[in-house]
Amino acid sequence: MPKFYTITTPIYYVNSLPHIGTALTTLAADVTARYEKMRGKDVFFVTGTDENGQKVKEAAERAGKDPQSFVDGISAEFQRIWPGMYIEYDDFIRTTEPRHKIAVQEFFRILRDRGHIYKGTYSGWYDVSTETFYKEADLVDGKSPDGNDVRWIEEDNYFFRMSAFGEPLLKHIEENPGFILPEVRRNEVVSFIREGLRDIAISRHNQGWGIPVPDDENQVIYVWVDALINYVAACGWPNPGWEAKWPAAVEWMGKDILTRFHATLWPAMLLGAGLPLPDSLVGHGWLLMGGEKISKSKGNVVAPLDLAHELAQRSGCAEDVAIDAVRFYMAAVMPYESDATFTTAEFDKRYNNDLANDLGNALNRSLAMTHKFCGGKVPAGEAEQQAVDAIRETCEHFETAMAAFRIDHAVAAAWGLVRFLNKYIDTRAPWALAKAQSPELPEVIRSMLLCLRAIEGFVRPFMPVAADRMREQLGLSKANGKNAWDQIGLEASLPAGVAVGQPQPIFPRLDLDKTKKETQMETKPAPVAAEPQAEEITIDEFKRIQLKVGRVLEAAPLEGSDKLMKIQVVIGSERRQIIAGIRKNYSPEDLIGRQVIVVANLKPAKLRGADSEGMLLAAVDAEGGAILLQPDSEAPEGATVR
């Protein structure tokens, strides 16, 4: 039986419909799946919906529906929207399916039989919104760390001995550096585990919705335990043959559900049941809007298909191409260590600059010159070495990026070749070669077309429709159109004599003068009292202050202080410790992975006995708290700020 390259997404709560933030994870998984298929892998890509739990039951009650009909309706919408975005999953699992229920109950039995589950009494706080248990010390102003209301719960439950798995998990993480990505997320997980894992209640009182505990109908299995088991259930476990699809090669997810659940509870459960752990857990950053995470409750939702429809109307591009443009944008800004911010202005800018201008010009100029100088057919001969080298280097950069699950870097690699082609056309000047009747002209035109053929392959994982349009304009049939990865850049991938099509713009340029209305949601901070006018300084005095871009690798409250945070910051190749009075506004989880602006030549000082080797720049809010400054897009670490 062949071994599959298994890719998963979280299964999504059915209390609301997908938005561009939700779609980010699913798009990342789809890009990964399409790329691995091009490389010849047997891919199994699974997504689905999480339909159990008190949160879902209460949402159904508010909607005036019984839980099953409620989840049926919303799950159907997920199964409509994902294909509408050209997301090609191989399986869609629902936690109300019999196969999932069977797997969950069997998993529970195995953990219980192995001595990892015991009965006890739970007393503590419960956040229904995120289905998470919290200690008193975890609460912030009486609410969960996410700002949600919590409920006090006292009931007899079943407990999982998660405290027994701290050391095994740390050992696995140390021995497998690619298990948790990116590094800043791995550091966060290690810090969380070292604080001490505690046993966790894994059942709730049965209120009529959920998967019953085996041999105890009065309890249902805690929704996070239930949900996580979907990954092996979708692979066919516990039935024969599941080993062909498990363990997963990569589990994609947002950073908010990595530390407490996917990187601790889930692998501890797998270790307890004697099952293999997934190869990689990738917790990407958030796509923000107006400085906040996109969510229905905050009213800042952008629906991906609506965004594509609006783009099609504004630009005149086809609806399916507009969906590709949305996919391209999401892949290009895919947040990894830190977060990204969505604005309509930035979306429009990328559409015009990258798609309409860069890609459009490369395609249109190459095809037009083929018609003008080569009778509209692919010339024979070989491409020039500089074009061959550029394609090879792009392939290497793309593969390196995808091996590290850096989809944004893969897009950047592809666009490096697009820009090379435009520059190559300007430098080699086919029109001048034609005028001089140079024998090099056919080789130059072939080089241009071979670059286009390679670009078609590189963009296919994230823009399948645009790739098909390019293939058609290159005159290639479906039989030889969809590149195998190892064919990219080969002369054989572009047969001589093929008649290319007339250039047709795939991405018509947006008229930004007509679309100045910004749809980004903006929050207006409360005004702060004006400070006295500071003494003027000269530009030379200002130049003495050395400002650098840094990235937070580690953060923790400074012991003995309720205001100070101890932060490890990387500035270029240098690592520094900075003590900052920002604990009121930021938790360690908010800081890890974030880019910050550092006063790099500040004289070191001791604060509460700890060395501080710099200062973070921050604005002051209306209550005197800190609002950290950061670049509005990713900047090289160590870059000078001026």
pLDDT tens figures, 153-173:
888 999 999 999 999 999 999
How long a stretch of residues is the chain?
642
CATH number of the domain within which 90 lies: 3.40.50.620
Residues 543 and 497 in one domain: no
Q: Which is nearest to 578 in space by CA: 543, 602, 542, 547? A: 602
pLDDT of residue 296: 63
Q: Omega before 247 cis (within 30°)?
A: yes
Q: Which is nearest to 169 in space by CA: 90, 74, 79, 265? A: 265
pTM: 0.79
CA dihedral sign, ordered 206, 212, 216, 221? negative
Average pLDDT value over all residues in the chain: 90
Strand residues in 445-601 grouped as ranges (E):
547-557, 565-571, 574-580, 595-599
Low-confidence ranges of the chain (pLDDT < 50): 481, 517-526, 528-530
Residue 168 is assigned to a structural domain of this protein:
yes
Residues 22 and 136 in one domain: yes
The string of DSSP letters for 536-569 reads P--HHHHHTS-EEEEEEEEEEEPTT-SS-EEEEE
Residues 43 and 126 in one domain: yes
Residue 267 is assigned to a structural domain of this protein:
yes
Vertex 585, ends 582 and 586: CA angle to 5°? 75
Residues 456 and 386 in one domain: yes
242 in Cβ contact with 258 (< 8 Å): no
Which pair of tokens denotes residue 204?
Answer: 């709730």
pLDDT of residue 526: 45
Residue 43 half-sphere exposure toward CB, CA atoms < 13 A: 21
Residues 250 and 366 in one domain: no
Residue 634 is assigned to a structural domain of this protein:
yes
pLDDT of residue 364: 95
- Burial (0-12, 13-18, 19+ Cβ within 10 Å), 102: middle
465 in Cβ contact with 86 (< 8 Å): yes
The span from the CA of 257 to the CA of 264, in Å, is: 10
pLDDT of residue 523: 39
DSSP state of 41: -
Q: For the chain, what is the domain count?
A: 3
pLDDT of residue 298: 65
**Side chain identity at 40, as an amino acid letter?**
G
| Residue found under tokens 């006995």 | 609
Residues 504 and 557 in one domain: no
Residue 633 is assigned to a structural domain of this protein:
yes
Residue 284 half-sphere exposure toward CB, CA atoms < 13 A: 30
**Domain assignment of residue 155, given as a range:** 5-289
Residues 503 and 553 in one domain: no
pLDDT of residue 633: 64
